[in-house]
């Protein structure tokens, strides 16, 4: 059984999407700390490596120098191109007010209150971009954009060429610094064939700093590249990994196992994302499926998980104000030293607010503010995030209170029965 859905657009939606793209141009994307730092690292590593390479192994002196220089400059240029392509192309967004072609398909899809439309399969709403992103993997601050359906290939190539280029830069800068430090020894005791690298004190400091940047890129970006390639071969995004983990965890051993619908085999998964022109296959709405699966297999699982999440939800009433700071020193040392390991926002709360909590940690809670205090102005946007656990107390309903009372009453009886048996 295969349920297909096609995007339905109208002139109003397309006009709104064009205006949105005009407002968020490439220059505005660039004016952010993430792209600026990334461009600074690319420029610093490229200039320092080219400068040292011209002294350590001049490209005009031998074929080996030309080969090394050509290889490094190719990686540097491709890194810059794929970085700009991933940032400016974007992941591909659903237009506002999107609906499936068939009316009966709405029951299988989640509704986005912000975009006022339905989410297509594998589509998720990004709070930072303010839109629904097709096949969203994550929001990357370094490109100031989401990684998704349209720019997944270019983002992966950006990581690949960055690692390859910085690996070459690490070798070139290390050998250049070594020869620059031993230059005097070579003048007196060398054979005359050693390369002479001239670096001032500040030049040596700058090269060592850039060398540290290059090593950091190889380690950090290399790890991210590994996770991206693993996700591509499995045809799973980071969000879908989390959905699949919960789908397996919530089932009992005797239940029918959940089948991930988009895993078509490693080679087919790879071809679906990666190609020379960085053009994805498909429209980002209708996907190729495994046998015994249909277009809404994963979305139905998401709806079930959402329903179970609402059942686990507990209401908390705020008793202490919280400013929304990431490290609230006034809330205790444990709160500051054990923050949630996530970039999700913190919410500002005042006494009297009611929060629907869905995630619990020892020192922090995550939930959505459902009933603001009368002093706050309500808004249509969802106000959710993390806040210190000590700022709120759980609101116990009558049924829960009766259950807890009954449990407390039966506890002494069980203890007396156990004593009699002994």
Residue tagged 């969000």 (tokens): 239
Pick the closest to residue 1 from 292, 250, 412 (CA basis): 292
Neighbour tally for 282: CB within 10 Å:
12
Please state, in angstroms and rounded to a whole number, the distance separating the CA atoms of residues 19 and 39.
27
- The answer to whether residues 98 and 8 touch, using CB atoms and an 8 Å cutoff, is yes
- The answer to whether residues 97 and 116 touch, using CB atoms and an 8 Å cutoff, is yes
Catalytic residue among 82, 129, 140, 278: 140
Please state, in angstroms and rounded to a whole number, the distance separating the CA atoms of residues 46 and 41.
8
Torsions phi, psi for 349 (to 5 deg): -130, 155
Torsion region of 354: left, alpha or beta (phi above 0 gives left; psi -120 to 50 gives alpha): beta
H helices present in 235-332, as ranges: 238-249, 266-273, 297-312
Please state, in angstroms and rounded to a whole number, the distance separating the CA atoms of residues 375 and 321.
13
CA-based radius of gyration for the chain = 28
Residue tagged 């079930």 (tokens): 304
Reduced to 3 states, what is the DSSP secondary structure of residue 141?
A: coil
Torsions phi, psi for 92 (to 5 deg): 95, 120
C-alpha distance from residue 121 to each of 7, 283, 330 (Å): 11, 11, 43
Residue 371 contacts by C-beta under 8 Å, 6 or more apart in sequence? Answer: 353, 354
Query: Would residue 166 show up in a list of annotated catalytic residues for this protein?
Result: no
- The answer to whether residues 289 and 295 touch, using CB atoms and an 8 Å cutoff, is yes
Q: Tokens at residue 55, please?
A: 């002294």
Please state, in angstroms and rounded to a whole number, the distance separating the CA atoms of residues 418 and 8.
67
Element housing 317 (H / E): strand 314-318
Please state, in angstroms and rounded to a whole number, the distance separating the CA atoms of residues 363 and 354.
18
C-alpha distance from residue 69 to each of 65, 199, 406 (Å): 6, 20, 78
Catalytic residues: 140
């Amino acid at each position: 059984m295969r349920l297909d859905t096609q995007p339905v657009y109208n002139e109003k939606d397309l006009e709104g999407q064009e205006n949105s793209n005009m407002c968020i141009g490439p220059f505005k994307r660039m004016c952010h700390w993430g792209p600026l730092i990334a461009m600074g690292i690319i420029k610093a590593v490229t200039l320092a490596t080219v400068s040292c390479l011209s002294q350590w192994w001049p490209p005009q002196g031998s074929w080996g120098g030309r080969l090394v220089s050509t290889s490094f400059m190719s990686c540097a240029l491709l890194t810059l191109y794929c970085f700009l392509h991933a940032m400016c192309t974007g992941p591909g967004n659903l237009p506002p007010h999107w609906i499936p072609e068939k009316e009966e398909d709405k029951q299988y899809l989640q509704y986005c209150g912000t975009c006022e439309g339905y989410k297509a399969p594998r589509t998720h709403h990004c709070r930072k971009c303010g839109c629904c992103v097709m096949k969203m993997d994550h929001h990357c601050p370094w490109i100031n954009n989401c990684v998704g359906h349209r720019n997944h290939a270019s983002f992966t190539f950006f990581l690949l060429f960055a690692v390859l280029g910085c690996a070459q830069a690490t070798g070139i800068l290390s050998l250049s610094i070594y020869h620059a430090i031993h230059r005097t020894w070579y003048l007196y005791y060398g054979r005359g064939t050693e390369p002479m690298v001239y670096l001032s004190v500040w030049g040596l400091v700058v090269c060592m700093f850039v060398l540290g940047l290059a090593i950091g890129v190889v380690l950090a970006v290399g790890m991210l590249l590994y996770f991206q390639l693993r996700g591509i071969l499995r045809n799973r995004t980071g969000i879908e990994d989390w959905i699949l983990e919960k789908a397996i965890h919530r089932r009992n051993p005797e239940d029918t196992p959940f089948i991930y619908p988009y895993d078509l085999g490693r080679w087919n998964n790879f071809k679906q994302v990666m190609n020379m022109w960085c053009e994805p296959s498909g429209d980002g709405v209708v996907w190729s499926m495994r046998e015994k699966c249909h277009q809404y297999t994963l979305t139905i699982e998401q709806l079930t998980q959402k329903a179970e999440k609402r059942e686990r939800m507990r209401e908390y009433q705020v008793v202490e104000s919280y400013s929304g700071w990431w490290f609230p020193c006034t809330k205790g040392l444990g709160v500051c030293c054990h923050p949630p390991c996530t970039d999700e926002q913190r919410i500002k709360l005042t006494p009297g607010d009611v929060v629907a909590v869905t995630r619990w940690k020892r020192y922090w809670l995550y939930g959505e503010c459902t009933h603001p205090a009368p002093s706050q102005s309500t808004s249509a946007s969802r106000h959710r995030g993390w806040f210190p656990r000590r700022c709120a107390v759980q609101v116990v309903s009558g049924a829960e209170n009766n259950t807890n009372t009954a449990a407390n009453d039966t506890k002494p009886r069980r203890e007396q029965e156990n004593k009699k048996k002994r």
